[in-house]
Every structure is written in structure tokens, then in C-alpha cells.
Amino acid sequence: MSKKINEQEVAELLGNADNILLLAHQYPDGDTIGSNFALCLALQTLGKTVRVHCGDVIPDKYDYLYEDVPQPSFEPDFICAVDVADVKLLGDKTAQLYGDKIDLCIDHHATNTGYAAHTCVDSTCGAAAMVVYRIIGLLGVSLTPAIARCIYTGIATDTGCFKYSNAGALAHRIAADCIDVGIPYEMINRINFDTKSRARIELERMALDGMRFYHDGRVAVMTITNEMVEKSHAGENDLEGLPPIPRQIEGVWVGITLRQKADGNYKISVRTGTHADAADICGVLGGGGHDRAAGCAVDGTLEEATAAILAAVEQTVARITTG
């Protein structure tokens, strides 16, 4: 059973620890990398021996976050996971090595499974970096530009550059504190929000080519087949952030993305506005999720999968079939 502790208690635990191994989640994003390296830098400032471990290769675009942060080798005496909601998210190898020895977890996911000896979760924070920011303050470490660019990156990437509902007042205020000490936020945002690989551009082009509209443009269907992924040379990273695209088109109530799986069948993502409930639509096909974003899976050809999800839309969304 994990003990729930507050940020002051976290600061005390970390203050008394040394030879600290910090753990990021697999498929690393800006928040797990940013919040881990911010904490790493703060603890190193206190003279402690600390490094960050991630079970996956960290994408090159995050180089600016840690290229100057020493990563010494040592036998850990204290293990702390940051922004890791479930021990499985560490990746198989890391979970096997450290999964049952994690002393502390700092997180912002309400779904945290409580796998660590001590857990500190604030699910009102849009990013783990916001929790880490306050812990760094409680550790008595001042915000440096190197720490600030990690915190800012975590907040910006987890809130879609302050666009989503989790970009509350506190997210903006901490971002302002980070900017005050001097960080290249324009460069950070360009790297994270205004850079696409050629493979991604090619994949988007093909996906837009095949976009289909139904019900007077209220339903848009985009398809990503294995052939398109191969042809465009898209990697796993290039496939992120595609499901919102159909719904972003003016007049679209229901945006549907069909993504072919390795076995040839289809995974379906549904995004809706206020006129339709995504969880209801996906529920018809045995899936689920939230009212604005949900998912399901359909076995069969592209035609069969498209027909199934369109039938689910017609069955659940009032007024969609009227002109």
C-alpha cells in the first residue's frame, strides 16, 4: 500500500536522500523529460548524486533540455518516478529492474496506481512539471534558466501550448515565473509545436487526400492505412496528434480517424463537439472514453469499419441524418 504524502513531505524525503535515480515513462514526452530533468538539476544543486533514466531513447528534439546535465553512474539508494501513472509505463525492462523498489512517485495523473512506497499526486495540475516546480521551491532551490526551461517545456507540451482546458491560471503563472529568469521560449515552442518531419507532412497529405465527408459535412472520416505509413516512412512519433484533425474542420460535429493495425483491422478514434457524444458512439461498437474523445476497434476491411462507425454515429447522434 502506497503512502500518500504532500509536497512538503516529498521535499523532506528527497532532502534526506542521496544517490537518487529518477525515472521517466516510456514513449517519453516533454513533461516526463522536463519534470525529471528539472528535479535532477535541483537535486544536483543541493550537492546530491542524481541521474535520470528512461526506458526508451529520448527523441533528439529534447536535447536542449539536458545536454549540459551531468548523468553520473552509481548504485541508486533512492528511486523516484516522475509523471509515471503506472509501473507498466516504465517499459518492460525498467519495470523489471526497478518496479518493486520505487520509493517515491511524483505525478499529476488522477489514475496513478499507487505502485511506489510514497505517492504525491496533484491531478489539478496540467503537467507533472507544475508539481515539481513547487517541490523545487520547497527544497529551497532557486529557479535557474536551466531548470526553468525544463518546467516551461513540461507545462507547454502537456497543455498544447496553453490551448487545452488543463491550461489553468496556475499553469500561466508558473510559465511567467520561468520566463522571468530568462528562457528561449520561442525556440522551445518552435521545436515542440512548429516542427514536422517530412514523413509526417507526407502522411498528412495522404490522409487529407482520402478525407471523406458525410451527412452534409457534419461527419468527417480520415484513414491511416499501413500502406500509407510505409509509403511515407512515418515512425511512431509521426503518428501522434492525428485524431483531432477531422474534427477541426469547420462544421464537423463528429471527426473520425480509422487507423489500420498491424493485423489489418482498424482502431477508431472519435472526436466530437457539443452536438455529439464520442463515448456513446464508440460504446455501440464496444469501445468507450470521454464525451469529446473516445475510441473503439472494428475487425474487417476499411469499408466494413467505415460502415460500422457511420452506423454507430447515425444510431446515437440526434439530427445527424436530417439535412
190-209 residues in contact with its own copies (CB under 8 A) are: 190, 193-198, 201, 204-205, 208-209
Give yes or no for residue 179 binding its own copies (CB under 8 A). yes
Query: What is residue 191's three-state secondary structure?
Result: helix
Beta bridge partners of 269: 257, 295
Residue 175 as a binder of its own copies (CB under 8 A): the answer is yes
Q: Which three cell numbers stand for residue 225?
A: 492505412
Residues 213-252 that bind its own copies (CB under 8 A): 213, 217, 244, 248-251
* Residue 130 near residue 173 (C-beta atoms within 8 A): no
Residue with cell 516542427: 195
* Cell 482520402 sits on residue: 210
Q: For residues 168 and 283, which CB has a smaller minimum distance to its own copies in the complex?
A: 168
Nearer to its own copies, 196 or 290 (CB): 196
Annotate each residue in 98-137 with x if it binds its own copies (CB under 8 A) or - if it does not, as one string.
----------------------------------------
- Choosing from 4, 93, 173, 231, the residue that interacts with its own copies (CB under 8 A) is 173
CA distances from 245 to 107, 205, 253, 271 (A): 29, 12, 12, 9
When asked if residue 67 is in the footprint of its own copies (CB under 8 A), the reply is: no
Residue 5, C-alpha cell as written in the block:
504524502
Query: Mask: binding to its own copies, 136-165, rule CB under 8 A, as x and -?
Result: --------------------x----xxxxx
Q: What angle do CA 195, 197, 203 make, to 5 degrees?
A: 120
Contact 136, 147 (CB under 8 A): yes
Residue closer to its own copies (CB basis): 180 or 304: 180
Residue 119: exposed, middle, or buried by beta-carbon count in 10 A (0-12, 13-18, 19+)?
A: buried
- Is 186 a binding residue for its own copies by CB under 8 A? The answer is yes
Q: Given the rule CB under 8 A, which residues bind its own copies?
A: 156, 161-165, 167-170, 172-173, 175-177, 179-180, 185-186, 189-190, 193-198, 201, 204-205, 208-209, 211, 213, 217, 244, 248-251
